[in-house]
Chain A
């Protein structure tokens, strides 16, 4: 049995298990066990992967599994992972596990909630382990659609509006993606040989440049919408603000990473010439994302909106780094994906916990929370510091690597956008410190807050898992970046083999 198959089988079994349960207690227990197993599996995968590599296995993709699905179209169910996908799987495992514990008290329709959540997780896991574009696309859509139900039923505020907006915008993104994928498919092999959806096979051929010019924007923007590319980011703040805690965690933490991951794994990797040519357009857009997201976060008063805009900014940085197309920056992009995934999940978990106690998310109505709920307060500060890039946490490693990589380009255009994007670090500090200052310190504005209780055990599990992961990456980034670098090498090699024809 291939270990990668388990990443699909375990969630499916968990869903079947939840179907048999009767109430909240049973269904959350089953979900926790299922996703706990999944988390352990993810770590086992990391271990096995490193063991294979140190044993000298130099294949690009490891643990390959391949089953022919639709022979006449050459569609395969084919799995395989490299260092990048292993890292993403570990991230997903952690965030989903933390998400289950963050929704420990989901009283309304608990079974349906956990089923939808795990279906979403299945889509994400499936996406990361697929190396066949068809299955990848299938899992991508599978991950998007439960969001509608999750936000629509268990959300808060204008949830129906947000859920619909999010679903339709992401589906419009997948419409663009569909065109891109089909285009790639029909040019995936030289005339006469069978067409293929397999990423590795396609990467061996050279898609005609005219087609690349046409397909690259479709593919990149298709994934970019999920990665909150300006101006297609508007689903994200509304969606995150209305979603229930665990869904915000999963969505900002993992689902948005599908966009960044797909953008380089599919769009840039398979169409390097067009990527070089058109990078400047998207570099401008992503710099706007980065700066505009950060500025928007300053003026928000709702905790979730602040964090949602901060996600736009941070995810913009991922796409920005990917478009720099050199090894250092791309390495940074992937660390940023993981780092942001963990941080934002932690933020949303904390916001959910604070909201559960204070019943408000408006920062002006709160204050001095550090005195009454010190555990949550301290963790919030940790998350904030990680987010603004304090050394010792993952955020620093990621942003540092990205900007060092971006600065390796010597021309004026790249320098200017890099400096612009780097200015977001300062702006980030402004909104993080502003929130921390108003929310946690100062006088307690509402006498009811004096009776608040600190984190429960399940909330501690959820937050501590995430904090541990953030500090682990921050203090020992080399194992992660080694793992990524090894797998980035073939991608970067393919990119640098391309004649540079970019405008800048």
Chain B
């Protein structure tokens, strides 16, 4: 392995080193100094994020098992920025007395999953893909059970690991059928050999089902709400934003490259799943009172929108999906950040507790409102642009009715997002949550997501970069 290979794999390698460094520091620190890990890790991760943005050359390693292109690097960088915001938002929570012992565990587990996602995104064959997927999934189950003394959190962990195991099994079965019918596990070879035979269609369906679990598409979404509710809030936001984003990234790549040849077969299935996911996610979100469950169902519905871009099946669709996920990361982190800040300080997670929040915590309320508007796709915030491009890509393939259903769903989602806005701005409350001042890390995290929500839409350059990188991936 020479130096240029190291540069190629810098995301994975640097993050592995950071995880090890955190572990070593933790071993050498006295118990009362454990909180020092937080700033050190933050600084290291910040450096890692910056390194990720350094220019890179597309290349391939391990005989094509691992490859990287500018687009893949961009995806990893998007994830990095999201994780950085989550880390900033979790500082206050980590500093709590009950978490003192296991601060480093949080970071190490989180970084392991992130490394898994890097490998998954960069994979050139199904073996590497599966390794990455497992590495990305199993530590999250441990994270979900992070506050294991609470039965809900432990329950979330076990639910997550069980459903992941099941979905991995289904996915592996699909992969084995793919291998059996094509004789290869390399994406490039499979893409050439994949045809419309019943066995290969079956293989695809198994594979897609496995991915649908990860993306929590309907009807494989049932684990989501319980896990999201039980896990600590920052883990939930990691699950719903980063984990889902990475899964969507790799799914969109595979759909456009490997399974492109059977597009005519899967469009009907995707159409149906998209409609079901958007609608059912929305209908369940309507009645939620717990903010975490609320955001969980809303994120199920958002995943349905991603399928519209895949259905578009062209560069516009590819770009729209990546751009949408980028926007979605910032919008959802804005919303989760506010919920997290409030939940950490006051322990309140119900929508009723948000009544008249604006009178005491105006900035948090405003950010929450903007994030929700962005999730609903209301201009001038970035969500509008993300949704518009997704709809445009679906319309480009002629799916006008699907677009109509999707926009109607966006309207339904606006209803429940407005319920939160109504609680914060309109409802009266004798005892609104008292004013509190968050620490610098939380504020930076919130400010970053707020900035992203505003800037990403107007700054068309970002869309153009993604668009130009998406060229060449699709034939």
Residues of A within 8 A of B (CB): 69-73, 75, 134, 138-139, 141-142, 145, 148-149, 152-153, 159-160, 164, 167-168, 171-172, 174-176, 178-179, 182-183, 185-186, 214, 218
Contacts and interface: CB of A to CB of B under 8 A. Distances in A.
Given A73-B389, A152-B422, A171 B395 contact: no
B203 interface: no
A179 B395 contact: yes
Contact of B400 (A141, A152, A164, A179): A179
B403 A182 contact: yes
Given A152-B425, A171-B411, A214 B400 contact: yes
Contact of A73 (B316, B414, B421): B316
Contacts of B468: 72
B395 A138 contact: no
Contact of A141 (B379, B415, B422): B379
Interface-centre pick from B373, B392, B410, B415 (highest chain A CB count, 10 A) = B392
Contacts of A134: 388
A168 B395 contact: no
7 contacts: A71-B464, A141-B379, A142-B379, A145-B378, A175-B408, A176-B404, A182-B395
A72 B469 CA distance: 12
Contact of A70 (B373, B403, B411, B460): B460
Contacts of A71: 460, 464
A56 B186 CA distance: 68
A145 B373 contact: yes
A270 B404 CA distance: 20
B410 A168 contact: no
Contact of A164 (B373, B388, B418): B418
Contact of B403 (A73, A153, A179): A179
A264 to B, nearest CB: 23
Given A71-B460, A141-B384, 17 more contacts: A138-B379, A138-B384, A148-B418, A153-B426, A160-B422, A164-B422, A168-B411, A168-B414, A171-B411, A172-B411, A175-B410, A175-B411, A183-B400, A186-B395, A186-B396, A214-B400, A218-B404
Contacts of A142: 379-380
Given A148-B421, A164-B415, A175-B410, A185 B379 contact: no
A148 B415 CA distance: 11
Contacts of A172: 408, 411
A444 to B, nearest CB: 36
Contacts of A171: 410-411, 414
Contact of A179 (B404, B421, B425, B464): B404
B209 to A, nearest CB: 30
B463 A70 contact: yes
Contacts of A149: 421, 425
Nearest to A123: B379
B467 interface: yes
Contacts of A139: 379
Nearest to B369: A149
Contacts of A160: 422, 426
Contact of B395 (A72, A75, A159, A183): A183
A160 B425 CA distance: 11
Contact of A185 (B392, B404, B408, B463): B392
A219 to B, nearest CB: 12
Interface string B177-188: 000000000000
Nearest to A183: B400
A134 to B, nearest CB: 8
Contacts of A185: 392, 395
A8 to B, nearest CB: 11
A394 B93 CA distance: 64
A167 B414 contact: yes
Contact of B463 (A72, A138, A141, A159): A72
A144 B238 CA distance: 33
B407 interface: yes
A190 B426 CA distance: 50
A218 B401 CA distance: 11
Contacts of B404: 175-176, 178-179, 218
Interface residues of B, number: 32
A142, A153, A175 — which one has the most chain B CB atoms within 10 A of its CB?
A175
B45 interface: no
A179 B411 CA distance: 14
Interface in B361-380: 373, 378-380
B48 to A, nearest CB: 31
Given A72-B467, A73-B316, A175 B407 contact: yes
A331 B93 CA distance: 64
B403 A178 contact: yes
Contact of A167 (B403, B418, B464, B467): B418
Contacts of B418: 148, 164, 167
Contacts of A75: 460
Contact of B407 (A152, A164, A167, A179): A179
B391 interface: yes
A186 B411 CA distance: 23
Given A73-B316, A171-B414, A175-B408, A138 B464 contact: no
Contacts of A176: 404, 407
Contacts of A167: 414, 418
Contacts of A164: 415, 418, 422
Interface in B451-468: 460, 463-464, 467-468
A184 B392 CA distance: 11
Contacts of A174: 407
A84 B380 CA distance: 26
A75 B392 CA distance: 12
Interface string B438-460: 00000000000000000000001
Interface string B62-86: 0000000000000000000000000
A261 to B, nearest CB: 19
A142 B384 CA distance: 10
Contacts of A69: 460
A183 B388 CA distance: 13
5 cross-chain pairs, A with B, having the tightest CB-CB distances, nearest first: A175-B407, A182-B395, A171-B411, A152-B426, A72-B467
A149 B407 CA distance: 21
Nearest to A172: B411
Contacts of B319: 72
A214 B379 CA distance: 27
B392 A73 contact: yes
Contacts of B415: 164, 168
Interface in B69-123: none
Contacts of A72: 316, 319, 463-464, 467-468
Nearest to A70: B460
Contacts of A153: 425-426
A201 B271 CA distance: 33
Given A141-B378, A179-B400, A70 B464 contact: yes
A214 B404 CA distance: 12
A168 B410 CA distance: 10
A75 B395 CA distance: 16
A186 B314 CA distance: 14
Contacts of B422: 152, 160, 164
Nearest to A175: B407
Contacts of B403: 178-179, 182
B398 to A, nearest CB: 8
Most buried by B among A139, A176, A178: A178
A73 B323 CA distance: 14
Contact of A182 (B391, B426, B463): B391
Contacts of A179: 395, 400, 403-404, 407
Nearest to A69: B460
Given A73-B389, A171-B414, A178 B407 contact: yes
A464 to B, nearest CB: 34
A182 B408 contact: no
Nearest to B414: A171
A149 B378 CA distance: 14
A178 B377 CA distance: 12
